[in-house]
Structure 1
Amino acid sequence: MNRKPLALTAACVALVALPGTADATPGRGVSAVTLYDHVVGDTDYVLKEITLAPGGSTGWHYHPGQVTGFVKEGVLTHNDASCALDGVYRPGQFISEESGAGYVHIGRNLGTTPVVLEVLYRSPVGQPLAVDEPNPGCSFE
């Protein structure tokens, strides 16, 4: 396995999430390729390369496990459930997301070029990588 930096946006996890609530906001313009998936003990380690097309988003979601990512290309805009901007991540930067239903968030590509992330998920075995949630009341997706 190539040991290059890992990336995130968790984003993007909307692709691999189990169905969420009826009013969930699924991602759009998101594609993902699984690079690695291995269970050690009670933890599933999954490495994905995630691409957000211009204008795309992960949809609102949370992660049952820890997520760490690395921005390879583009600019990722990240908001929390209060609608506040909680990060803008550029190439070469890492992002780390808290786990649990108390940390609902969205990743968006507001630029004109794709955002490419390498994302490492450390999830409890049997749990989805992400769970879709409804928009918490923000004026954007």
Structure 2
Amino acid sequence: MRGRQATTARPGKARGVPAPSGRRIVIPPGGCTGWHFHRVRLDAVVLAGTLTRVLHDSTVEVHRTGTTFVEPAGIGHIHLGHNLGTEPVVLYVTPALPEGTPFAIPTPAPTGATPSACRSHKPSYFSADPVEAT
């Protein structure tokens, strides 16, 4: 049987695998992302606070500190996130997007969305800063 033999990493000689890069997102108390979608799938970890997400089908999901969730890609997955708590919501989201690529694409509210879902559905107080995981 021909082929290459896999190499085995030996203790002390293994190369470190870099942590994935992503974005740190902060939503202050009362803040809202507005309706949007993403061009790529995002995996998120809630580092602090409680995030309330309203999905395109009016489903509401609540994510507390230490929980994870996935945001699928594409316009079929419109959603918004808001902070109903008294402390900032801090998320770590992967993957990082190439420089110049918008993190989120704003979009009108889906048909049947409740106006009270996130005040007037207008984006406010939302930052998504690129960071390297350590």
TM bracket, shorter-chain basis: 0.5 to 0.7
Instruction: Calculate percent identity across the aligned residue pairs.
Output: 36
2:114 is paired with a residue of what secondary structure? Answer: coil
Counterpart position of 2:115: 139
Cα distance in 2 for residues equivalent to 1:2 and 1:73: 24
Deviation at 1:138, TM superposition (A): 2.1
Contact 1:69 1:120 in 2 (8 A): yes
Within the alignment, does 1:92 sit opposite 2:76 as a pair?
no
Deviation at 1:135, TM superposition (A): 2.0
Cα distance in 2 for residues equivalent to 1:59 and 1:95: 18
How many residue pairs are counted as aligned between the two chains?
99
Question: CA 1:51/1:125 → structure 2, altered by over 3 Å: closer, same or farther?
Answer: closer
Deviation at 1:72, TM superposition (A): 0.6
Counterpart position of 1:75: 50
Unpaired stretches in structure 1, ≥5 consecutive residues: 7-35, 37-46
The one of 103, 110, 114 equivalent to 2:84 is 110
| TM-superposition CA deviations, 1:83-127 (whole Å, max 9, x none) | 221x21111111111100100000110111110111113658975
Cα distance in 1 for residues equivalent to 2:75 and 2:100: 16
Unpaired stretches in structure 2, ≥5 consecutive residues: 1-16, 122-134
1:50 is paired with a residue of what secondary structure? Answer: strand
TM-score (normalizing by structure 1):
0.62
Cα distance in 1 for residues equivalent to 2:65 and 2:42: 18
Answer 1 or 2: which has greater strand percent. 1
2:66 is paired with a residue of what secondary structure? Answer: coil
Cα distance in 2 for residues equivalent to 1:48 and 1:61: 16
Structure index of larger Rg: 2
Question: CA 1:65/1:125 → structure 2, altered by over 3 Å: closer, same or farther?
Answer: farther
Alpha-carbon RMSD across the aligned residues, in angstroms, is: 2.5
Counterpart position of 1:53: 28
